């Protein structure tokens, strides 16, 4: 049987797909799901990095030169700038994605342009953070990212992992891999497009 690594290598070069973790809360439940997303990217033969907004501690976007030179801002932009695709995970806070994610996005300019993005949600209830992920997609569009249809929604977040971070619901591996297969397809198609096709004039207004 062919391994996932071999399948990825056969289909083309390994891609760089960072995972942005948008929960900065002390006792957050999003860490284990974000780590699982990154593990599945690596298991599929691609390179990844967990861009953990709690660790990065990005300053508030204010257009000050000092802020733009901030080590965390530079590292965040650099990582997404060399990405082929990105995965975003946000818990649902007050029917939206987190303020930390919005601030992180406001620091970006053209790093996600014409690259696919998968938006995933998490919530304590059954909704799985769908309002967070759907809202995030509409914001990512403004950066000329290409949000894909597939998402993974980590509902009932309290029961998904044990205290050591072991996944208790194995069906999530399949859901992540299905999303990832689509993301990689778009990443390859859009990479080819960026390299071979002229970009249409930017719409004003
Ligand atoms: C400020 C705040 C607002 C929340 N609002 C919602 C909400 O609108 N809908 C929902 O389903 N869950 C809501 N929740 C529950 C969170 O989705 C749940 O606590 C989840 O574990 C948060 O992710 P985190 O643990 O990674 O921070 C809210 C939680 C917080 C802290």
Summarised one tens digit per residue, pLDDT across range 139-166 is 999 999 999 999 999 999 999 999 999 9
Query: How many whole angstroms from 189 Cα to the centroid of ligand 1?
Result: 35
Q: What is the pLDDT of residues 90-110, one digit of tens each?
A: 999 999 999 999 999 999 999
Chain centroid to Cα 63, Å, comes to 24
Mean pLDDT confidence for 185-200: 96
Mean pLDDT confidence for 46-53: 98
Residue 2 has pLDDT above 60, yes or no: no
pLDDT of residue 200: 85
Cα end-to-end distance, the chain, whole Å = 52
Distances (CA, A) of 26 to 59, 79, 121: 18, 24, 18
The answer to whether 112 and 76 have CB atoms below 8 angstroms apart is no
Alpha helix segments (H runs only) across 12-147:
31-43, 53-56, 65-68, 71-81, 99-106, 130-142
pTM: 0.94
Q: Quickly state the pLDDT bin for 199 (edges 50, 70, 90).
A: confident
The answer to whether 117 and 148 have CB atoms below 8 angstroms apart is yes
Query: How many whole angstroms from 38 Cα to the centroid of ligand 1?
Result: 22
Q: What angle do CA 37, 42, 173 make, to 5 degrees?
A: 40
- Show the tokens assigned to 194: 């960026």
Indicate whether residue 124 lines ligand 1 (CB < 6 A): yes
Q: Whose CA is nearest to atom 17 of ligand 1?
A: 123
Mean pLDDT confidence for 128-140: 98
The answer to whether 21 and 30 have CB atoms below 8 angstroms apart is yes
pLDDT of residue 204: 67
CA dihedral 7, 9, 14, 17 (to 10 degrees): 10
Indicate whether residue 157 lines ligand 1 (CB < 6 A): yes
Which range, of 1-5, 81-85, 116-120, 187-191, averages the lowest pLDDT? 1-5
Distance from C-alpha of 190 to C-alpha of 184, rounded to nearest angstrom: 10
Residue 45 has pLDDT above 60, yes or no: yes
Q: Whose CA is nearest to atom 22 of ligand 1?
A: 91
Q: Quickly state the pLDDT bin for 1 (edges 50, 70, 90).
A: very low
Query: How many whole angstroms from 26 Cα to the centroid of ligand 1?
Result: 13
The answer to whether 30 and 122 have CB atoms below 8 angstroms apart is yes
Indicate whether residue 169 lines ligand 1 (CB < 6 A): no
Q: Which domains does the chain have, with CATH numbers?
A: 4-190 (3.40.50.360)
Write down the mean pLDDT value for the chain: 94
- Show the tokens assigned to 99: 């303020």
pLDDT of residue 5: 47
CA R_g for the chain: 17
Indicate whether residue 31 lines ligand 1 (CB < 6 A): no
Mean pLDDT confidence for 63-79: 97
């Amino acid at each position: 049987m062919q391994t996932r690594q071999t399948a990825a290598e056969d289909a083309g070069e390994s891609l760089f797909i960072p995972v942005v973790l948008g929960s900065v809360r002390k006792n957050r439940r999003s860490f284990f799901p974000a780590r699982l997303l990154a593990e599945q990217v690596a298991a599929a033969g691609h390179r990844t990095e967990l861009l953990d907004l709690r660790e990065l501690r990005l300053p508030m976007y204010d257009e000050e030169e000092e802020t733009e030179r901030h080590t965390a801002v530079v590292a965040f932009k650099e990582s997404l700038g060399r990405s082929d695709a990105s995965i975003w995970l946000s818990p649902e806070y007050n029917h939206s994605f987190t303020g930390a994610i919005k601030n992180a996005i406001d620091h970006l300019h053209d790093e996600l342009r014409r690259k696919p993005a998968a938006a995933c949600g998490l919530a304590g209830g059954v909704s799985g953070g769908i309002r967070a992920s759907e809202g995030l997609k509409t914001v990512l569009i403004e950066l000329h990212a290409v949000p894909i249809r597939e998402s993974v929604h980590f509902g009932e977040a309290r029961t998904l992992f044990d205290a050591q971070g072991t996944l208790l619901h194995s069906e999530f591996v399949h859901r992540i891999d299905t999303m990832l297969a689509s993301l990689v397809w778009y990443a390859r198609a859009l990479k080819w497009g960026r390299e071979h096709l002229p970009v249409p004039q930017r719409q004003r207004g």
